[in-house]
């Protein structure tokens, strides 16, 4: 009795633990931990809140009067103050006010030795910490120029810009081929904390057979000798070859881009005419007097000389469009290039892309069309100046993009006076500034609360700046820098020379990468496809049909039926039963009788008997157990 109870209890315990394990596994597979759930909900709430806030700011119309002083008298003074001021005091060289001056390769960054022909970017900063800046004072940067060294020199790209503080002209910034100068006028006399930045570009050239060290202000830079090794032999080939080139240059106090269109560089034989259509990009002006044609690389011609030598050809220039038509017979066996210059009018453009469409026909071939394109980067040039007066609070907002800073209008700040808790909400003007005069002295908390679309506000939304305003001393302008929102996952590498965007190439006709078509091996003797074979009529594998033994009453299970004997005698008188038509019931009974012979009846009977015996023993055992209990 004790063993039976222990056995039953053990079975029950194992069953209970198994069911419990299954339930716990299912719960763990479908339940999120409280920490994870809380974190996910918090993240969604934060994202949703930020999106809602962004939508509200973009949808809210701006208040024209917000953050500005728009009285008529101030507008009149503003128009007057933007006129360039004169200087009455004697000028001083205050180049010692420079706080930084750096030179880097525009494309490669800082280098120990710069390549000849490279574009150098110069960035500098100045401040009046070493002494006040007065009208007539100037800061000058000089370098080794072409007049001092014809073999190796630095050449600055031209630029000029007036300098303003609070819309008042305080000086002029000028860059020439030989140097850069910042000159201040008398309007700077009443300002303190006068600081600023400037930038410009130079071109480094070295035509000698050795590296040269060139002077740059109070330091020096090294320029490597130019590599003038030939690109390759002048090959004559019955194939068309062309190209488009461009480079930025400076001369006569202006910045230019020199373009070149190269045609039939392999000196192929041609039929029909060669047609070129070239449109000048926006921001450039074509100088028709600077257009030349070069034949076979060494014969230069002006447009009138070209018309005389090629009477069946023409070059037409209309505005910013150049159309070239060259007779194929006149150009056969020769190479030709057209060079022209365009003046840069848009100083703020990042680059200029020029495309030329060309149609040509090689001898005994069809007419083909192609296009050539090249991009030239613009030169950078900029300068800014800041300064403050007593009881003045000034905020200057910059946008830093691709290594340069630009003033950013349309940014809203919240300004709170710490002593009185008075709050102002101001927006930067078209000069990227907020200028508040006659402010109570004390400390001010400043927060950036809104920015134009595309500006990353997250990097400054939690920052608080403290600015001190004094009634007896000049203040210092608060300078805040923003960046553009980064686009993820798309990134524009079109202006990044280190990551060239490689266009799609069609290799379908490239013998180096042949596209192998699908091959049908069904008729290939090396790989014969063996069809399905029907063995039903094959004597080697005879399919024995099913045999109905239901009519053979003498047949015993497992014993084949005897062959039936027939006679030619027929019953002259059929019985009545044979004449009667079978009823549906009789047909159904006949179908039921036509069944397969039973096999294995004895085994089934034995199993049934054994089962009944076991069932009886079990009932008897339970009955005895009940009597004992």
pLDDT at 496: 58
Percent share of the chain, pLDDT over 90: 36
pLDDT at 54: 33
Three-class secondary structure of residue 406 per DSSP:
strand
pLDDT at 441: 84
Three-class secondary structure of residue 622 per DSSP:
helix
Domains of the chain: 82-229 (2.60.40.1280), 243-377 (2.60.40.740)
pLDDT at 62: 35
Average pLDDT in the 98-124 region? 92
Cβ distance 310 to 327 under 8 Å? yes
**Pairwise pLDDT comparison (24 vs 286), residue with the higher score:** 286
pLDDT at 125: 93
Residue 21 has pLDDT above 60, yes or no: no
**Pairwise pLDDT comparison (37 vs 438), residue with the higher score:** 438
pLDDT at 373: 92
How far is residue 282's CA from residue 545's CA, in Å, rounded to a whole number?
Answer: 92
Q: How far is CA 263 from CA 276, 352, 468, in A?
A: 9, 22, 67
Average pLDDT, the chain: 75
pLDDT at 70: 36
How far is residue 345's CA from residue 441's CA, in Å, rounded to a whole number?
Answer: 46
How far is residue 42's CA from residue 57's CA, in Å, rounded to a whole number?
Answer: 23
Give Cα 144 to chain centroid, integer Å: 41
pLDDT tens sequence across 533-566: 776 666 555 567 777 766 554 444 444 444 444 4
Rama region for 327: left / alpha / beta (φ>0; ψ in -120 to 50; rest): beta
**Pairwise pLDDT comparison (14 vs 182), residue with the higher score:** 182
pLDDT at 73: 38
Signed CA dihedral, 536, 538, 539, 541: sign only: negative
pLDDT tens sequence across 314-358: 999 988 899 999 999 899 999 999 999 999 998 888 899 999 999
Confidence of residue 616 (pLDDT cuts 50, 70, 90): confident
How far is residue 23's CA from residue 32's CA, in Å, rounded to a whole number?
Answer: 16
Residue from 235, 305, 294 nearest 260 by CA = 294
How far is residue 163's CA from residue 136's CA, in Å, rounded to a whole number?
Answer: 14
pLDDT tens sequence across 378-419: 888 888 888 777 778 888 888 887 666 788 899 999 999 998
pLDDT at 621: 78
128: Cβ–Cβ under 8 A, 6 or more apart, which residues? 97, 192, 193, 194, 195
pLDDT tens sequence across 464-512: 999 888 776 666 688 888 888 876 555 555 665 555 556 776 666 656 5
User: Parallel, antiparallel, or unpaired: how do β-strands 433-436 and 423-427 relate?
Assistant: unpaired
pLDDT at 43: 37
Signed CA dihedral, 96, 100, 103, 106: sign only: negative
Average pLDDT in the 280-294 region? 91
pLDDT tens sequence across 67-86: 333 343 334 444 444 455 55
pLDDT at 178: 92
What are the strands of the beta sheet with 423-427, ordered from one edge?
A: 423-427, 412-417, 442-450, 465-469
Angle at 583 between CA 582 and CA 587, to 5 degrees: 75
**Pairwise pLDDT comparison (496 vs 429), residue with the higher score:** 429
């Amino acid at each position: 009795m004790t063993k039976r109870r222990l056995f039953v209890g053990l079975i029950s315990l194992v069953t209970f633990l198994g069911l419990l394990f299954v339930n716990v596994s299912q719960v763990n597979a479908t339940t999120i931990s409280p920490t994870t759930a809380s974190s996910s909900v918090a993240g969604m709430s934060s994202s949703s809140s930020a999106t809602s806030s962004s939508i509200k700011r973009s949808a809210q119309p701006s208040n024209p009067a917000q953050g500005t002083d728009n009285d008529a008298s101030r507008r009149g003074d503003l128009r007057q103050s933007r006129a360039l001021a004169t200087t009455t005091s004697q000028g001083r060289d205050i180049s010692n006010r420079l706080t930084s001056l750096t030179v880097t390769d525009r494309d490669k960054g800082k280098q120990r030795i710069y390549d000849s022909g490279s574009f150098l970017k110069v960035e500098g900063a100045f401040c009046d910490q070493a002494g006040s800046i007065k009208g007539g004072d100037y800061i000058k940067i000089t370098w080794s120029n072409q007049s001092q060294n014809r073999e190796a020199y630095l050449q600055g790209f031209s630029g000029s810009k007036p300098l303003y503080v609070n819309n008042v002209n305080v000086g002029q910034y000028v860059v020439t081929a030989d140097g850069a100068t910042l000159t201040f006028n008398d309007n700077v006399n009443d300002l303190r904390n006068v600081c600023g930045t400037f930038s410009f570009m130079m071109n480094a050239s070295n035509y000698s057979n050795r590296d040269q060290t060139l002077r740059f202000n109070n330091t020096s830079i090294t320029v490597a000798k130019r590599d003038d090794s030939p690109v390759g032999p002048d090959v004559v080939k019955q194939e068309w070859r062309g190209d488009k080139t461009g480079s930025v240059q400076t001369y006569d106090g202006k910045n230019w881009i020199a373009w070149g269109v190269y045609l039939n560089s392999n000196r192929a034989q041609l039929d029909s005419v060669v047609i070129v259509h070239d449109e000048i990009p926006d921001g450039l002006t074509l100088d028709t007097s600077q257009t030349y044609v070069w034949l076979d690389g060494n014969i230069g011609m002006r447009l009138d000389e070209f018309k005389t030598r090629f009477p069946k050809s023409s070059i037409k220039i209309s505005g910013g469009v150049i159309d070239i038509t060259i007779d194929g017979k006149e150009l056969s066996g020769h190479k030709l290039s057209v060079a022209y210059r365009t003046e840069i009018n848009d100083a703020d453009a990042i680059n200029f892309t020029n495309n030329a469409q060309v149609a040509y026909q090689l001898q005994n071939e069809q007419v083909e069309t192609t296009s050539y394109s090249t991009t030239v980067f613009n030169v950078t040039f900029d300068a800014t100046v800041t300064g403050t007066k007593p009881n003045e609070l000034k905020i200057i907002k910059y946008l830093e993009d691709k290594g340069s800073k630009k003033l950013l209008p349309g940014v809203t700040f919240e300004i709170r006076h710490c002593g009185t808790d008075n709050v102002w909400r101001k927006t930067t003007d078209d000069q990227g500034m907020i200028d508040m005069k006659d402010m109570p002295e004390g400390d001010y908390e400043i927060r950036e609360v809104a920015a134009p679309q595309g500006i990353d506000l997250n990097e400054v939304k939690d920052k608080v700046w403290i600015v001190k305003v004094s009634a007896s001393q000049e203040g210092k302008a608060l300078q805040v820098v923003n960046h553009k929102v980064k686009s993820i996952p798309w990134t524009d590498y079109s202006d990044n020379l280190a990551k060239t965007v490689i266009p799609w190439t069609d290799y379908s006709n490239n013998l180096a990468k042949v596209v192998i078509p699908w091959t049908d091996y069904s008729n290939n003797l090396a790989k014969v496809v063996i069809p399905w074979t029907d063995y039903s009529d094959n004597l080697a594998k005879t399919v024995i049909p099913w045999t109905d033994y239901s009519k053979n009453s003498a047949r015993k299970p497992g014993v084949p039926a005897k062959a039936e004997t027939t006679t030619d005698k027929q019953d002259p008188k059929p019985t009545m039963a044979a004449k009667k038509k079978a009823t549906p019931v009789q047909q159904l009974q006949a179908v039921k009788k036509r069944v397969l012979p039973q096999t294995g009846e004895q085994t089934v009977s034995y199993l049934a008997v054994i089962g009944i015996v076991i069932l009886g023993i079990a009932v008897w055992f339970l009955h005895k157990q009940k009597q004992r209990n």
